[in-house]
Amino acid sequence: MNNMRLNLGKFLSLRGVSLVLVTTVMITGLSGCGKKAECDIKGDHAHLYINEQNFSRYINKEYLSYEGYERQEDYKVLSEDEKKLCKFEDKKDLLRIDENIDAIAAVQEKNHDYIEYRYAYTYLMPIPHHVRSGKTSYTYFTYIPVTHHSWTSNPEHSRLTGEQRRCHHVYQACNVVIDENGKYVVVPSDYVDDIFSLNGEYTYIKESFCKVIDAEYGYDLDYEDGVEDDPDLIDENAVTEDNTVTQSYNTQEFDVTGAKLVKKLS
């Protein structure tokens, strides 16, 4: 009977953990929406929501907070077509430019060009070797130092290669059109230095309307450069502490058929 009580207690304890985990997952899953608000407004409508960066959008929902946006008192009545468009805007995270001029200007004003410097680091790449002798097999590794590269904004980094790049912010707007099937489609603009240079040709921005590019070449920044991807590395030997390929290994055998040993070597 004591064992039965203990097992039951253990079962309930484990069940409790499961219930807590399930409850946590459910609460976490709803954290983007928050509590629903009371609303006496009749008919289809959208409430104004504003986030911490002062971006605003009208959303056809009744939450007090929604995906980082807080509900305001303002609202607008929607026709059936406006309701469909409003839901599409919400689905695609679209913000109207004319409702967010100050917020967009604030983002562009604080985004200045900056310099990044390339540096090298050494990675010990494991090379597995599988050996079979009769019914016994084992695996050992050799480790080869390989030079990789990335970028930092620290000009005093100890392993700089001498390369640098200017990082520049660019921005993208978009329009919403109805295609031949009667469905809404997002049509993006080219990336530009200033959203307002588009002169009202585009109605929307997405929440992620900014990216950083290499100012000289115009491509997106890559922080995972490798030697094989960049044969023009400047002065590779000068920044690589050990350019010699070294191998060291230990082996160990098992008497069990088909057993393998994976041993990390220092």
DSSP output for 158-212: TTEEEEEEEEEEEEEEEEEEE-TTS-EEEEEPPPBS-GGGGTTS--EEEEEEEEE
Distance, in Å, from the CA atom of 105 to the CA atom of 83, rounded to the nearest integer, reads 28
Closest CA to 90 of 44, 51, 64, 58: 58
Residues in a beta bridge with 168? 213
**What's residue 37's pLDDT?**
75
| H-run or E-run covering 22 | helix 2-30
| 89 three-state secondary structure | helix
**What's residue 146's pLDDT?**
87
Full-prediction pTM beyond 0.95? no
Distance, in Å, from the CA atom of 110 to the CA atom of 107, rounded to the nearest integer, reads 6
**What are the phi and psi torsion angles at 102 (to 5°)?**
-65, -40
| 143, 144, 147, 150: CA torsion to nearest 10 | -30
**What's residue 158's pLDDT?**
87
Q: Where are the domains of the chain?
A: 27-91, 94-266
Per-residue pLDDT of the chain (266 residues; tens, 9 = 90+): 444 443 444 433 434 443 333 334 334 444 455 678 778 888 899 999 999 999 999 999 988 889 999 999 899 999 999 999 999 999 999 999 999 999 999 999 999 999 999 998 887 889 999 999 988 999 999 999 988 888 889 999 889 999 999 999 999 999 999 999 999 999 999 999 999 999 999 999 999 999 999 999 999 988 765 434 443 433 334 334 333 333 333 333 333 333 333 332 22
Residues in a beta bridge with 148? 121, 226
Q: Please give the full DSSP string across 46-80, using - where no structure is assigned.
A: EEEEE-TT--EEEES--BSEETTEEEEEEEEE--H
**What's residue 254's pLDDT?**
35
| 6 three-state secondary structure | helix
**What's residue 34's pLDDT?**
62
Buried b / exposed e over 215-224, threshold 16 CB at 10 Å, is: eeeeeeeeee
Largest interatomic CA distance in the chain: 82
**What's residue 124's pLDDT?**
87
**What's residue 138's pLDDT?**
92
**What's residue 26's pLDDT?**
38
